[in-house]
Amino acid sequence: MGVIERIKEIEAEMARTQKNKATEYHLGQLKAKLAKLRTTLLEPAKGASGQGDGFEVTKYGHARVALIGFPSVGKSTLLTQLTGTKSEAAAYEFTTLTCIPGIIHYNDAKIQLLDLPGIIEGAAQGKGRGRQVIAVAKSSDLVLMVLDASKNDRHKEILTAELEAVGLRLNQRPPQIYFKRKKTGGISFNSTAPLTHIDEKLCYQILHEYKIHNAEVLFREDATVDQLIDVIEGNRKYIKCLYVYNKIDVMGMDDVDRLSRLPNSVVISCSMQLNLDRLLAAMWATMGLVRVFTKPQGQHPDFSEPIVMSHDRGGCSVEDFCGQLHRSLAKDFKYGLVWGTSAKHFPQRCGLQHELEDEDVVQIVKRKDQTEEGRGRFKSHVEGPVRISDRVKKAPLKQ
Ligand SMILES: Nc1nc2c(ncn2[C@@H]2O[C@H](COP(=O)(O)OP(=O)(O)OP(=O)(O)O)[C@@H](O)[C@H]2O)c(=O)[nH]1
Ligand SMILES: [K+]
Ligand SMILES: [Mg+2]
């Protein structure tokens, strides 16, 4: 029997099995079996390189966003609207066959937007171009799940299940479970929170399914069996997702209103250009991108090109900021001066751990700033003319 048939069989057995205290252990075991099978499915087939299918697009800009959705929901129309890059759009399904990149210019940042072929139920198991599409989604900082607002809302569930089946977790944070394999010593099971979904016996059973007999497991939250399996499997990708309901122009107000109130959702119409600005703002907020402007000593801040950071990717502390400017900067760091919403007063003196906020201005003062060498190195990233904007008021020239 092939892997896909075995997956189907286990899914059927899980559907047949009633959920109660008596079946809890059996269900847990089935879940672990299913996760293991799905992992084998994800391993690339022997001899397949995955190259040359038109899906490899170089990362560009400060963040990457993937358009995921059923065929003909308007993904390509949206790409064209937001980036100006033309991606073929038509009334028939599977118009788009590869990955088409465009760039959104928003808040002085560049966001790479990727148009992709539509995916359908069974994508995770290789139907259509599902596997390639999902691989691109995995490499993104945000998934825009594009849905046809006038169609069945079950599409959202189906797509979520497809993405989950290959280890993507949308709008979830990693489980607070410490897990470490050991060479000897058996299983040590502990928890710092009351557990209502899992107990020691069930945990042992799942570890046994993975042939793990020596390990340390510490639950720091009331986690589920699925979350434990995610931690054991270890290759999960936690990614943010916005649900974008397109084509609201063909719907009644009541339905539009209902959809717009769902969590992490934005309603839009590409053809009538409705709410696209709100979509961009929601993308920005969801990705938690932070722009920080550099200010060399005795000069105006450089507003021409911000350093864009994110809480998810690399963090937003002064240390992370230094890291983006120059490798040696954090090492030579004496103190920082900050203007903006993260500062209590202007300028605020701060250390490497200070968390920066959107549109802050930062000046780094180095220990060796008096030496010619040090000055040259720090200034190197702000060469060229400095554009003066009204934001200069925040950062007086004197400092
Ligand atoms: N009424 C309405 N139609 C739209 C809207 N946006 C796109 N369409 C239409 O929907 C159809 C499909 O649009 P595409 O952009 O090709 O959809 P897609 O998701 O890229 O489709 P595939 O590449 O085939 O997966 C086209 O006929 C578009 O003109 C909208 O906001 N309202
Ligand atoms: K289409
Ligand atoms: Mg398309």
Angle 279-284-286 from CA coordinates, rounded to 5°: 90
pLDDT for 51 beyond 70: no
E-strand ranges in 295-389 read: 302-310, 333-339, 348-350, 360-366
Report the relative pairing of strands 100-106 and 109-115 from DSSP bridges: antiparallel
Query: Which-ligand-closest: CA of 145?
Result: 1
What was the pLDDT predicted at 46? Answer: 54
Q: Which helix (H) or strand (E) holds 31?
A: helix 24-42
Ligand 1 in contact with 75 (CB < 6 A)? yes
Structural domains of the chain, with CATH: 3-43+175-233 (no CATH), 63-172+237-286 (3.40.50.300), 289-394 (3.10.20.30)
**239-257 per-residue burial string, b: 16 or more CB within 10 A, e: under 16:** bbbbbbbbbbeebeeeebe
Do 123 and 163 form a contact (C-beta atoms < 8 A)? Answer: no
pLDDT tens-place string over residues 9-36: 999 999 999 988 889 999 999 999 999 9
Ligand 1 atom 2, closest CA: 247
pLDDT tens-place string over residues 118-156: 988 888 777 778 888 888 999 999 999 999 999 977 999
User: Cis before residue 347, ω within 30 degrees of 0?
Assistant: yes
Ligand 1 in contact with 87 (CB < 6 A)? no
Q: What pTM, to 2 d.p., does this model score?
A: 0.83
Instruction: Using most ligand atoms within 8 A of CB, pick from 270, 273, 274, 276 the residue to mutate for ligand 1.
Output: 270
Ligand 1 in contact with 96 (CB < 6 A)? yes
Q: Is the dihedral of CA 376, 379, 381, 387 positive or negative?
A: negative
Whats the size of the chain, residue-wise?
A: 399
Report the relative pairing of strands 333-339 and 360-366 from DSSP bridges: antiparallel
Q: How far apart are CA 187 and CA 213, in angstroms?
A: 6
Do 81 and 276 form a contact (C-beta atoms < 8 A)? Answer: yes
Q: What is the mean pLDDT of residues 196-223?
A: 95
User: What is residue 388's DSSP assignment?
Assistant: P
Angle 349-355-359 from CA coordinates, rounded to 5°: 85
What ipTM was assigned to the predicted interfaces of this complex?
A: 0.99
68 Cα–ligand 3 center, Å: 10
269 Cα–ligand 3 center, Å: 15
Angle 6-39-287 from CA coordinates, rounded to 5°: 130
pLDDT for 305 beyond 90: no
Q: What is the mean pLDDT of residues 235-261?
A: 95
Q: How far apart are CA 40 and CA 30, in angstroms?
A: 16
Distance of CA 52 to the CA centre of its chain: 25
Identify which has the larger pLDDT, 373 or 28: 28
